[in-house]
Structure 1
Amino acid sequence: MKKFIKSLSLIGLIIVSACTEKTDMEKMMDTVNQQTIKDHIYFIASDELKGRNTGSPEILEAADYIATQLETYGAKPVEGADGYFQSVPLRKKSPATSGSFSYAGKNFNLNDDFLIVDGKSGTYEGEVVYLEYGQAEDYEGADVKGKIVFAKAGDGNTSDRRAILRLSRAKYELARQNGAAGLVEFYNSPATPWAQLGFTFNRVNITLDPEGDDKEIIPHLWLKDLNNANQRFMMTRSLKRASLTIEGMVNEMTKDKNILAMVEGTDPELKKEVIMFSAHYDHIGVGRPNAEGDSIYNGTRDNAIGTVTVLSAAENIAKYPMKRSALFVLFTGEEKGLLGSRYLADNPIVPNEEIVFCWNSDNGGYNDTTISTIVGLERTTASQFIKDANEAVGLEAIDDPAGEQGLFDRSDNVSFARKGIPAPTYSLGFRAFDAEIMKYYHQAGDNPETVDYDYLEKFFKSYVLASRMIGNAPERPFWVEGDKYYDTGKKLYGMN
């Protein structure tokens, strides 16, 4: 009889437990709180953090604050990380104060004729070797050790400035790895005016440098050659030697870091699949004062809000774990060229093939408080979950309405999309990149008191609810067939 009563009691407990199990909606409502959202944003976008510029002491303070919140919520350090951090090897370089360059007796003037992309103060001289576009295949059979490599900028196909810069950085690393004494690229793309390029390079810049102080920094120049005259001159010289002098250029490694934390999933099988929640927490620091004399670019919209979106998901999932595991990542260096995300994608702590979805959050601003804008909404099979979550909280999810901006390729999501990981970006509601967006985008007026917190509460709820729906779904999300990254994804996950 006692065994029978005990069995009935156990059955009763199971029934009660089943009846009281909260839905994903109820779990979301339990943790997403407007005051908490506001408190986080007011600190991260405060004047005290001076715009969280990459390489600054203030971004390190922001990193400590974010890591503390993740730890408080119960998210755990990721095995292989340094506590809650991944050091990102960034080199800060100041521009040269003067410089000279000559080739086969022909002299070129700094800024008018050539720009210094990278390097350090010193005098360099050496034999020249021409390597077409200076890509990996061009080095096959070539002896470049101790020589200055000359190559065309770009790859002969793209005229996009960002793409040419990415290629240029890869060429620089190839030249260093092959023992070259320097790299000179002939720049002949009319897409970006030479004066604009000068503005880009003649200021303090930050670049990824995995070798740090352990490898020689070699000079890297862009030589203006819009009509290919300099290339023709080079090809007709019998004496192929170049000399270069750089003065006033200083390099130093920063202490920047990505922030990582994890919550293990509850399903024995699905927990092997990881949903990554990401945002960048850097902004652009202190700059030109506005009409009110404010010179601190607080970066409330871009991207304190995105950072706190991820914190909100972490708070919820740490309290109510999903079937799939959750990885929370906050990146440094996004404003300097997606540096933090590029480094993690190339140096993963959680293997890329275990990450089945990158749920990025990044913002420029908003001009419609009835919607969420998801850049890449229809590119993955998670789109219906996102739409349903928005509808549940009174919003509408729309895809990127400003394709001309190339937003998918301008945020940290693309670092992982290129690896094959489905990676849309969750953004505040905008229907166009109009004057309302530009009023605050990278402006000193982007302060915490200028945003609508009633709207933000809905926005955060939609993100967290969609996160739970994706994390608990029977099927993992993937690229829609035909997407440019579909085949890359199949290869990454061994689906071929």
Structure 2
Amino acid sequence: MKNLIILSLLLTCGTVACAQDATVKEIAAINPPGTALAPLRYLASDELKGRGIDRPEINTAAQYIADQFKSFGVKTVPGANNYFQEFQLVTASPGKTGKATIGQLSFTLGKDFVQMTPVDAIIKFPLEYVGRVTEAGLNTIDVKGKIIMIDLGVADDDLSFRKDYGQLPALRALLTKKGAVALAARFMGKTLSWSGLSAHFNEPHLIQPDETTFLNTFIINNTPELQAILSKGYKTDAEFVVTGTMERSVNLKNVIGYIKGTDSQLKDQYVLLTSHYDHLGVGKAKMEDGKLDSIYNGARDNASGTTAVIDAARYFSKYPPARSMLFITYTAEEKGLIGSSYYASHPIVPLKQIIYNLNIDNASYDDTRLISLVGLGRTTADKHIKKACAAYGMTVNGDPTGGQLFFASDNYPLAKKGVPAPTFSFGMKTFGPEIFKRYHQLSDEVGNMDLNYMMKFIGAYILAAKYIADDPQPATWSTGDQLEKAGQELYGNK
């Protein structure tokens, strides 16, 4: 009997291995390198001028993705305009002049402080400094009729800044509800990071629909003088004056399509595969990697991710899994997760039918033996992702920032609504110099990518999606995860 059991187990394992090998071969046959990498080469080409949302080439990129979907037989989603979810938002340009006064200290707009939502303002009210605070902490403070000053992060710790910055929308919503008149956030990161932050807010940027209902928010760079007065506790009048802001409308589109599943019981459930197809566009010309350049091609970020989604659509159109597959390439991620936030608030396929979202967003890589799963340990699909990566000779690690990247990509707008949604990324042992060598740089081009690694990345992504879509049990948030309750509420299984 014992020998029969062992033989049975060996046969079962052999069958599973054979099925896995067969799928790997199918993926390779459907997506040979020349075919699989063609979208990467095109989307990251100079012809598309960096896919900035303020340039006409962004529409060329969207049409290209839609044409790819159509050529595979991917279906259009009822409620979309062909393969597009179209919407319009406002781009706001920062004020031409502005000044802030706190006690005897003065700050200049664009240099010492920035405004998160550009709008002309004259605000003069009592200011109360409350330090680094959470939603729970704000609930214990009387904020009505006050400018509330908080800390973003702790001194010279950029990771803590990223975490606090990700919580700003929730704090702004709560302060608005409780009757505060403005929020002043003290920047506690590094000097170099302040340069990047101020540069971002000194450019026109898209306004999220819910931002228009939030109170005015300013971010102020920390100085020794400001530190001195706040260290003693601070309650006094403060004034913020901003003039010369401008607004214009901008038309945007997510690209969306689906493939129907084969299982009669599971076909109304969807596994969602996503990436963003926009990038930074064209900037000032400068020397980088030995050449004068001005186009942010965004090969890694995120033509690579969009390529993997296109290749997944090509594969699943020929080999549909049990559940239906939904494909979305988002617009305007670089402007603040705009496309994914819009879909989360205006879903065409209801979120409760989307049982899992495997997002892709890439910065760069420092280890081609790895896949970094941002959200490792947070959902029950980890086993499928690890198994798929192992089939391509790779292992899986987690977020190299300790969890902060989870809030910084297109997985998050759906995740906070309850959809289990990690981000599948290139291998990063650390989020350090090797990553920043290419991340948001002019040199992020196809010519300096490891394309053999890119092929393994694509294959592992498709295989992981297949395992998740074919599993009779839907993937869920892990027990005890901070978003488990949101998932239970979304799917009605509290």
State the partner residue of 1:61. 60
Whichever residue aligns with residue 344 of structure 1, its letter is: Y
1:340 has 2:336 as partner? no
Q: Would you say how many aligned residue pairs link Structure 1 and Structure 2?
A: 459
Q: Give the distance between the partners of 1:458 and 1:138, measured in 2 at CA.
A: 47
Q: Which runs of 5+ in 1 are unaligned?
A: 1-21
Whichever residue aligns with residue 76 of structure 1, its letter is: K
Q: Give the distance between the partners of 1:377 and 1:413, measured in 2 at CA.
A: 13
CA contact (8 A) 2:128 2:235 kept: no
State the partner residue of 2:243. 246
State the partner residue of 1:150. 147
Aligned CA distance change for structure 1 residues 72 and 187 (closer, same or farther; 3 Å)? same
Instruction: State the Cα distance separating 1:371 from its structure 2 match.
Output: 3.7
Aligned CA distance change for structure 1 residues 24 and 156 (closer, same or farther; 3 Å)? closer
State the partner residue of 1:374. 373
1:281 has 2:277 as partner? yes
Q: Give the distance between the partners of 1:192 and 1:124, measured in 2 at CA.
A: 29
Q: Give the distance between the partners of 2:365 and 2:105, measured in 1 at CA.
A: 51
CA contact (8 A) 1:99 1:110 kept: yes
State the partner residue of 1:9. none
CA displacement 1:197-248 (0-9 Å, x = unmatched): 8624552142333279xx799864446754566997765x6xxx9673413x
State the partner residue of 1:292. 291
Instruction: State the Cα distance separating 1:488 from its structure 2 match.
Output: 2.7
Instruction: State the Cα distance separating 1:175 from its structure 2 match.
Output: 8.1
State the partner residue of 2:410. 412
CA contact (8 A) 1:172 1:183 kept: no
CA displacement 1:179-213 (0-9 Å, x = unmatched): x9x9532334534659548624552142333279x
Q: Give the distance between the partners of 1:126 and 1:436, measured in 2 at CA.
A: 46
TM-score (norm 1): 0.79
1:51 has 2:50 as partner? yes
Q: Give the distance between the partners of 1:381 and 1:69, measured in 2 at CA.
A: 32
Match of 1:368, SS state, is coil
Q: Which runs of 5+ in 2 are unaligned?
A: 1-20
State the partner residue of 2:478. 480
Instruction: State the Cα distance separating 1:405 from its structure 2 match.
Output: 7.0
CA displacement 1:361-398 (0-9 Å, x = unmatched): 12122333344333334432222222332333x32231
Instruction: State the Cα distance separating 1:47 from its structure 2 match.
Output: 0.7
Q: Give the distance between the partners of 1:156 and 1:38, measured in 2 at CA.
A: 40
Aligned CA distance change for structure 1 residues 203 and 354 (closer, same or farther; 3 Å)? same
1:210 has 2:206 as partner? no
Aligned CA distance change for structure 1 residues 196 and 155 (closer, same or farther; 3 Å)? closer
State the partner residue of 1:12. none
Q: Give the distance between the partners of 1:113 and 1:234, measured in 2 at CA.
A: 21
State the partner residue of 2:319. 320
The CA RMSD measured in Å over matched residues stands at 3.9
What does residue range 98-137 of structure 1 map to in structure 2 within 5 Å? Answer: 98-100=97-99, 108-111=106-109, 114-121=113-120, 124=122
Whichever residue aligns with residue 379 of structure 1, its letter is: R
Q: Give the distance between the partners of 1:399 and 1:222, measured in 2 at CA.
A: 34
Match of 2:51, SS state, is coil
Instruction: State the Cα distance separating 1:356 from its structure 2 match.
Output: 0.8
CA displacement 1:144-172 (0-9 Å, x = unmatched): 8xxx8622346999994345445545566
Q: Give the distance between the partners of 1:383 and 1:37, measured in 2 at CA.
A: 25
CA contact (8 A) 2:187 2:194 kept: no
CA contact (8 A) 2:208 2:338 kept: no
Q: Give the distance between the partners of 1:229 and 1:344, measured in 2 at CA.
A: 41
TM-score (norm 2): 0.79
1:449 has 2:463 as partner? no
State the partner residue of 2:395. 397
CA displacement 1:430-449 (0-9 Å, x = unmatched): 43345443332222112112
Match of 2:301, SS state, is helix
Aligned CA distance change for structure 1 residues 125 and 423 (closer, same or farther; 3 Å)? closer
Q: Give the distance between the partners of 1:346 and 1:419, measured in 2 at CA.
A: 9
Bigger mean CA deviation after superposition, 155-164 or 317-326: 155-164
State the partner residue of 2:261. 265
State the partner residue of 1:495. 493
Q: Give the distance between the partners of 1:201 and 1:397, measured in 2 at CA.
A: 35
Match of 1:60, SS state, is helix
Q: Give the distance between the partners of 2:485 and 2:148, measured in 1 at CA.
A: 31
Q: Give the distance between the partners of 2:378 and 2:217, measured in 1 at CA.
A: 38
CA contact (8 A) 1:365 1:428 kept: yes
Instruction: State the Cα distance separating 1:303 from its structure 2 match.
Output: 0.9
CA contact (8 A) 2:100 2:107 kept: yes
Which structure has the bigger radius of gyration? 1
CA contact (8 A) 1:184 1:222 kept: no
